[in-house]
Structure 1
Amino acid sequence: MSITQQYLLDTHRARQLGEPAPPAPGEHDWQVVREWHDRRQFRAVLAGHPTHGRLRRALRRWRSLWPRALG
């Protein structure tokens, strides 16, 4: 059963029981992504790591080593 079929079945059941319809699939995706990002930042703070800029800093460090590696 696909997500759409399950959603339609749940909506039909809710309508028959007089309950509010469930949220549509994908309606809260951005909220989930935001919460996941916040949780990663929180864990980084607890571990004593910077919360952002880690990738850029790693690339800068790698780029600074590149000329010496060719040398």
Structure 2
Amino acid sequence: MDAMQQHMIDSYRAARLGEPAPPVPGTHDMAAFRALRDQRRFEAVLAGRPATGRLRTALAQLVAPHPRRRPPACH
């Protein structure tokens, strides 16, 4: 059973019992992602690491060569 089928069953049950219907699956996904991001940033600050831009900085270091390093000379 997928999430939509479970939602339909829960909605039917709530309607029969006179309770409010549950939220549609995926309604609070972005809020959960933001909360996870905020938690990871908070933990980074406590650990003494930069709180923002860590992923972008790591990817930039992989893609762009370091300015002090020179590529090996090809002869």
Aligned partner of 1:34 in structure 2 is 34
Aligned partner of 2:5 in structure 1 is 5
Report the Cα distance in structure 1 between the residues aligned to 2:2 and 2:17, rounded to whole angstroms: 23
Question: Post-superposition, which runs of at least 4 consecutive aligned residues in structure 1 deviate over 4 A?
Answer: none
Report the Cα distance in structure 2 between the residues aligned to 1:26 and 1:9, rounded to whole angstroms: 16
Aligned partner of 2:57 in structure 1 is 57
| TM-superposition CA deviations, 1:37-62 (whole Å, max 9, x none) | 10010000110101012234343486
How do 1:7-22 residues align onto structure 2 when only pairs under 5 Å count? 7-22=7-22
User: Kindly tell me: are residues 56 and 30 of structure 1, through their superposed partners in 2, closer, same or farther at Cα, counting changes over 3 Å?
Assistant: closer
Aligned partner of 1:68 in structure 2 is 70
**Which amino acid in the other structure matches residue 16 of structure 2?**
Q
- The structure in which a higher percent of residues are helix is 1
- What TM-score do the two structures reach when normalised by structure 2? 0.78
Instruction: Count matched residues.
Output: 71
**Which amino acid in the other structure matches residue 31 of structure 2?**
Q
RMSD: 2.2
For structure 1, the residue ranges without an aligned partner over 5 or more in a row are none
